[in-house]
């Protein structure tokens, strides 16, 4: 795990960046900006200073159900590693428990733990799936994520309405076509 972020250093670098961009970091509106950017980046990259073990914190319970458990529409806010611009949207998680289940809020916190790093959407999707598989010891896991990327919307190809969809399936979600189909039909939003 990474050590604490040096916010003073990040604020200094932000100040230099403002100068390079052609701004005057001493003008009224920008005075507090380097410090605010440092605070904001510390939060948005907080996942580097967390482990999923800490996040889950033993909130895994014995259960003998082997039904599919679905959590839909978990909000995602992350930053692309190519441009350090946000991408955001929602993700849907499904798993089949063997003998343990995990609290719903913990699934959302696992998502945030990986989203608060520089990411590509494909890897973020896989990390969430792998982590739930490991923490719960599930029989199978599926994750589908739909996001809009500001690096595509504000610059580059300027495709304002495109949504990127990624998926990761593990265990029985990968090997059993019927299980995968059930998952996909349960998360269908439109």
Please give the residue ranges that form the binding site for Zn ion (CB under 5 A): 80, 82-83, 151
DSSP one-letter code for 23: -
State the nearest-atom distance from the C-beta of 147 to Zn ion, in Å: 11
Give the shortest CB-71-to-Zn ion separation in angstroms. Answer: 27
49 vs 88 by CB, closer to Zn ion: 88
Of 12 and 81, CB closest to Zn ion:
81
- 74 Cβ neighbours under 8 A, 6+ residues apart: 90, 91, 92, 93, 107, 108, 111
Strand order across the beta sheet in which 164-171 lies = 118-119, 68-80, 86-96, 140-149, 164-171
Sign of CA dihedral 25, 27, 30, 35: positive
Q: Which among 34, 41, 27, 28 has a CA at the least distance from the CA of 8?
A: 34
Q: How far is the CB of 30 from Zn ion (least distance, A)?
A: 25
Closer of 13 and 151 to Zn ion (Cβ): 151
Number of residue whose CB is nearest Zn ion: 151
Work out how close the CB of 122 gets to Zn ion at its nearest, in angstroms, rounded to a whole number.
Answer: 12
């Amino acid at each position: 795990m990474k050590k604490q972020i040096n916010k003073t250093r990040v604020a200094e670098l932000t100040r230099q960046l403002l100068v390079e961009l052609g701004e005057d970091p001493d003008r009224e509106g920008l005075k507090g900006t380097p410090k605010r950017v440092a605070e904001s980046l510390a939060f948005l990259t907080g996942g580097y200073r967390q482990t999923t073990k800490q996040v889950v914190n033993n909130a895994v319970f014995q259960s003998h159900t082997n039904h599919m458990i679905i959590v839909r529409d978990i909000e995602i806010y992350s930053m692309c590693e190519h441009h350090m611009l946000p991408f955001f949207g929602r993700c849907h998680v499904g798993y089949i428990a063997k003998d343990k289940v995990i609290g719903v809020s913990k699934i959302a916190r696992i998502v945030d733990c990986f989203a608060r790093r520089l990411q590509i959407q494909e890897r973020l999707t896989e990390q969430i799936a792998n982590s739930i598989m490991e923490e719960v010891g599930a029989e199978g896991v599926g994750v589908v994520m739909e996001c809009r990327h500001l690096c595509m919307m504000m610059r580059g190809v300027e495709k304002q309405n495109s949504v990127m969809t990624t998926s990761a399936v593990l265990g029985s979600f990968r090997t059993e076509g019927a299980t995968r189909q059930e998952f996909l039909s349960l998360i269908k939003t439109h």
